[in-house]
Amino acid sequence: MADIHSKVVILGSGPAGATAAIYAARAMLEPTMIAGIQPGGQLTITTEVENYPGFAEAIQGPWLMEQMQAQAEHVGTKLVQDIIVSADLARRPFTLVADSGDRYITETLIIATGASANWLGLPSEEKFKGFGVSACATCDGFFYRGKRVAVVGGGNTAAEEALFLTNFADKVTLIHRRPTLRADKTNQMRLIENPKIEIIYDSVVDEVVWMAIGSDYLEARPARRRLSLSCRLWTCFG
């Protein structure tokens, strides 16, 4: 356990955290960037990135985050592999307690923890993350051109992801565990009116299975009907 004083502490080491660290370091503020529970953020589970400026060809998400962190360290950022478990923001300087037991004392705190995907928690899902299973339609939708895609969820995020994917996929299946969607009425109407979208209610995904067909890989998702408990198997590529 140690008390560590830093002019600037940044929570999170994804693109936002790394950018903040670079600017703070160039301002001679000697920032400390605490990596958090997912060092590098969600880009570390994105295999190919095509919407980041400056690269004509697709690049790997983990590689991009390595470069961002290396740049931040190069200009003077101290990168710490730790997690903050509590913070006292009622008085200055702020006091942050890390999982390691160290205490960080700072006048300026930048919170760049970003968002985390709401995964299903399936072992098979974990196996295929970045290889057909994605949590970001904007990031990965381009790779499913002309294919069948499944989206799990019934809120606004799932609805918007499904609608976005119709720009690329031949068909989008929206799977929701309840008898009605939670998305707002505008998004619901857009889903219903889109000929590429099929909605399956009262169903949950039990497993993600890959089956080789020709030169492609077919992802099959068995779903369990919550009410009737009957099973249904359909196929998709994402």
Query: What pLDDT was estimated at residue 211?
Result: 59
Cβ atoms of residues 151 and 175 within 8 Å: yes
Report the catalytic residues. Answer: 136, 139-140
Query: What pLDDT was estimated at residue 147?
Result: 87
Query: What pLDDT was estimated at residue 47?
Result: 65
- Block mean pLDDT (10 aa), the chain, length 238: 94 95 97 92 76 87 94 97 96 96 96 84 80 80 87 90 92 92 93 95 81 47 44 47
Query: What pLDDT was estimated at residue 136?
Result: 81
Residue 219 covered by a domain: yes
User: Which ranges constitute the DSSP H helices of the chain?
Assistant: 15-26, 61-74, 123-127, 137-140, 156-165, 185-193
What are the φ and ψ backbone dihedral angles of 43, each rounded to 5 degrees?
-65, -20
Which pTM was predicted? 0.64
My answer on whether 224 and 157 are in the same domain is yes
Query: What pLDDT was estimated at residue 220?
Result: 43
Residue 116 covered by a domain: no
- Of 62, 87, 111, which marks where a domain is finished? 111
Residue 117 covered by a domain: no
Query: What pLDDT was estimated at residue 174?
Result: 93
What is the longest distance spanned by two Cα atoms in the chain?
63
Query: What pLDDT was estimated at residue 97?
Result: 97
Residue 19 covered by a domain: yes
